[in-house]
Amino acid sequence: MSEIASEIAEWEKSEIEAANAGGRPVVVFVHGLWLLSSSWAPWRSLFEQAGYATIAPGWPDDPPTVEAAREDPDVFAHKMVQQVTDHYLAAISELVTKPAVIGHSFGGLIAQKIAGEGASAATVTIDNAPFRGVLPLPASSLKSAAPVLGNPTNLGKAIALTFAQFAYGWANNLEEDEARRLYDEHHVPASGVPLFQAAVANFNPFHNEVTVDVKNPNRGPLLVIAGAEDNTVPLAITRATYKQQSKNPGITEIVEVPGRGHSLTIDHGWQEVAETALAFVQRFVS
């Protein structure tokens, strides 16, 4: 096993080994800020029932549970986009076949970075964080990011959202009882660094960590899924993502899901989104 792969946690190695042993096509799930990889559990069951093996690595040093994450929030501090991308690339390098990759929010950005490296057989990015070249900065997106970006000292901290902040940025289309349940079951602190990296991406004339290679002919087919009512990643961002990715010679598609916010991967309507992603993956990875 390579030196970089030695940084993979034991539980992640076990998932990789099981995926390799099964002989089935593999799907890799990439979570974003304020969630853990456990948030993908219903998606993994759906894809496994459809004949895929799945792995859902965490970000480096992610705690094993939401409870542990809340007890030790500082573990999330200082995590950076390229560091996390490299962690997923290390996990993918241990697979015997090139996988499909599905990511949400900053995980959607990282999934596109993985695709830009030619390491994905097909990619689904869901309400992804913006990368260099994605120019719109809608007011609702700025408000959603304000709990982090509003204080420059948050750059080196792990930040938890209040319920009110979560309700605006994630659960604006949900009833309060469901929003509260999702907050209690899934929300964890998150590194402030990626949001600062994304915020300055278009002001940096040089290569930076939120750069995506959209032109690599080995990128593979890519689907952008957009929640039409997302306050954190509004349609202006996902449509601009699609426009940038359409520069690739490969297949690039977009699906806009009406009435859905940033919680679309974990709320009551997750299955509709998951089945859209599954149908796309089934066209190219079998």
Please tell me what DSSP assigns to residue 221.
Answer: -
* Six-digit token string for 139: 């007011």
Helix and strand element counts for the chain (H, E): 11, 8
Q: Is 272 exposed, middle or buried (0-12, 13-18, 19+ CB in 10 A)?
A: exposed
Q: What is the pLDDT of residue 205?
A: 62
Report CA dihedral (106, 110, 112, 115) to the nearest 10 degrees.
-160
3-state secondary structure of 255: strand
DSSP 153: G
In contact, 63 and 73? CB cutoff 8 Å = no
Q: Provide the pLDDT for residue 206.
A: 63
Instruction: List residues bridging with 190 in a β-sheet.
Output: 159
Can you tell me the distance from the alpha carbon of 218 to that of 124, in angstroms, rounded to the nearest whole number? Answer: 15
Residue 38: CB atoms within 10 Å: 17
Separation of alpha carbons 240 and 135, rounded Å? 7
8 Å CB contact between 214 and 245: yes
pLDDT tens string, the chain, 286 residues long: the values are: 333 444 899 999 999 999 999 999 999 999 999 999 999 999 999 999 999 999 999 999 999 999 999 999 999 999 999 999 999 999 999 999 999 999 999 999 999 999 999 999 999 999 999 999 998 889 999 899 999 999 999 998 999 999 999 999 999 999 999 999 999 999 999 999 999 999 888 887 666 899 999 999 999 999 999 999 999 999 999 999 999 999 999 999 999 999 999 999 999 999 999 999 999 999 999 9
Q: In what order do the strands lie in the sheet with 222-227?
A: 53-55, 26-30, 100-104, 122-126, 222-227, 252-257
Side chain identity at 62, as an amino acid letter? D
Q: pLDDT at position 97, please?
A: 96
Tokens of 101: 């990759």
| Contact criterion met (CB below 8 Å) for 45 and 270 | no
- SS3 sequence, 29-90? EECCCCCCHHHHHHHHHHHHHCCCEEECCCCCCCCCCHHHHHHCHHHHCCCCHHHHHHHHHH
**Angle formed at CA 145 by CA 140 and CA 150, multiple of 5 degrees:** 115
Show the domains of the chain with their CATH numbers: 5-284 (3.40.50.1820)
CA count, 13 A, side-chain hemisphere, 67 = 0
pLDDT at 281: 98
Its pTM stands at 0.95
pLDDT in tens, 204-246: 766 689 999 999 999 999 999 999 999 999 999 999 999 999 9
- Which pLDDT belongs to residue 285? 98
Of 142, 136, 108, nearest to 124 (Cα)?
A: 108
Using alpha carbons, select from 98, 96, 90 the residue that is nearest to residue 27: 98
- What tokens does 51 get? 């004949």
Q: What is the DSSP letter of 158?
A: E
Task: In whole angstroms, give the CA distance from residue 90 to residue 56.
Answer: 13
11-38 pLDDT, tens per residue? 999 999 999 999 999 999 999 999 999 9
3-state secondary structure 191-257: ECHHHHHHHCHHHCCCCCCCCCCCCCCCCCCEEEEEECCCCCCCHHHHHHHHHHHCCCCCCEEEEEE
